[in-house]
Amino acid sequence: MNGVMPDSAPKKTLPRLDESLLTHLPPFSKLERGEIRAILDQAVSRRFDEGVAVFDEGAPAERFYLLLDGYIRVVRISPTGERVTALHIPSGQLFGMARALGHDTYPATAITATESIALSWPMRLWDVFVTDYEGFSTETYKIVGQRVGEMNTRIMELATQHVEQRVANALLRLISQTGRKVADGIEIDFPITRQDFSELTGTTLHTVSRLLSAWEKQGLVESQRKRIKVCDPHALVILSQL
């Protein structure tokens, strides 16, 4: 894992962005173009390579982010030092919203799962946006609620489900959130390894490899070069409920 880029590091800035980039995104969809322009003018845009930590767990929460393109992997470190993937964030969503959770530090590490582009603002502007811009507060706290709900679902899965069910549910979630239609199935739209899946499902690399290999032989999935395609979603739904 690469370390977080400090604010003093040279910015990988992008050209001046058009307001249309934000008009369709829920936190900004109720705003006038002039308001969106004011928000964009206060943002820093940056391109991140794949595998870069945008910020680290426990670091001061100095900025919040909007992912314009790419995917973010949210990672926690357990008390025993194991890396656990909490969730994945697709493009078009805010992340690093520590202020919304009442935190002064980031509660998790955000790592780019692909090359990504993000806007960011100083955290001091969070309260300004919540107060001044219609829809920003309700939509962002809705996102927070959805992510807390997803985390609670995963905790229940870890506590009550067999490994095969957890891996099947993880695959179904990812194709629902980030899948793209390809020939003969739905592919997770970012590179993901079997090690990533073990961290996502709280199991060992050996167990994930055994399950995926068995499912490949049954024609349920295809897995190669950090790419996983689900060929038979209905069969995975059945496995997730056994």
The pLDDT mean for the chain works out to 86
Q: What is the pLDDT of residue 102?
A: 87
- CA-CA distance, 54 to 189, in Å (whole number)? 20
Q: Residue 188 pLDDT more than 50?
A: yes
- Are 48 and 134 part of one and the same domain? yes
Q: Residue 215 pLDDT more than 90?
A: yes
Partners of residue 75 on adjacent β-strands: 85, 109
Q: Per the domain annotation, does 13 fall within a domain? A: no
Report DSSP state, residue 232.
-
Which pTM does this prediction carry?
0.79
Q: What is the pLDDT of residues 64-96, one digit of tens each?
A: 999 999 999 999 887 777 788 888 899 989 999
Q: What is the pLDDT of residues 119-141, one digit of tens each?
A: 999 999 999 999 988 778 888 88
- Are 145 and 175 part of one and the same domain? no
Partners of residue 72 on adjacent β-strands: 89, 112
Q: Which two tokens stand for residue 182?
A: 């390809």
- What are residue 34's phi and psi, to 5 degrees? -65, -35
Please give the tally of structural domains in the chain.
2
- Only one residue has tokens 């970012």, namely 190
Q: Averaged over 171-181, what is the pLDDT?
A: 88
Q: Are 28 and 111 in contact (CB under 8 A)?
A: no
Strands (E), the chain: 44-48, 53-55, 63-69, 71-77, 83-90, 94-95, 109-112, 116-122, 179-182, 185-188, 221-224, 227-230
Q: What is the pLDDT of residue 120?
A: 95
Domain ends where: 149, 181, 200?
149
